[in-house]
């Protein structure tokens, strides 16, 4: 593993312009996700108020449906929060000089993978191994 890291070290140099371009793209994505998350929380709060005001006369099925819908909304909000965390981690890795390099084996993550999934921390091979487990 040390040899792979030593070999890859010279290739890890990225121009300041490339780094800045990546940083801007990741920051914009984080801000988009944060706005979506904030909107989601606002909607959940408003819907909760409406449900409390409009719950008179609900039977068990109505209550169950409302509970299920609320849990789904919260799950979606939590997924957004997880995606925000992933982007923030990618920004940290970029600042440390580790962005674009596999956390497990140290090899470069293909540009195509990063283009499709900018917060990737594992190369394709390591990700496949992880998914098999």
Lowest mean pLDDT among 1-15, 35-49, 82-96: 1-15
pTM of the model: 0.76
**What is the distance between the alpha carbons of residues 89 and 91, in angstroms, rounded to a whole number?**
5
Query: How many CB atoms within 10 Å of residue 20?
Result: 12
pLDDT tens digits, 67-87: 888 899 999 999 999 999 999
Domains along the sequence of the chain with CATH: 16-98 (1.20.120.910)
What one-character-per-residue DSSP string does 13-81 give? ---HHHHHHHHHHHHHHHHHHHHHHHHHHHHHHHHHHHHHHT-TT--HHHHHHHHHHHHHHHHHHHHHH
12 falls in which pLDDT band (50, 70, 90)?
Answer: low
């Amino acid at each position: 593993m040390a040899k792979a890291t030593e070999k890859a070290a010279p290739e890890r140099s990225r121009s300041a312009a490339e780094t800045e371009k990546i940083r801007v793209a990741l920051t914009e994505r984080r801000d988009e996700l944060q706005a979506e998350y904030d909107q989601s929380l606002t909607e959940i709060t408003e819907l909760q108020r409406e449900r409390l005001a409009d719950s008179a006369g609900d039977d068990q099925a109505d209550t169950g449906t409302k509970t299920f819908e609320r849990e789904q909304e919260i799950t979606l909000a939590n997924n957004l929060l997880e995606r925000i965390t992933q982007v923030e981690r990618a920004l940290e890795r970029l600042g440390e000089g580790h962005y674009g390099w596999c956390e497990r084996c140290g090899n470069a993550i293909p540009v195509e993978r990063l283009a499709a999934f900018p917060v990737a921390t594992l190369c394709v091979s390591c990700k496949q191994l992880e998914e098999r487990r």
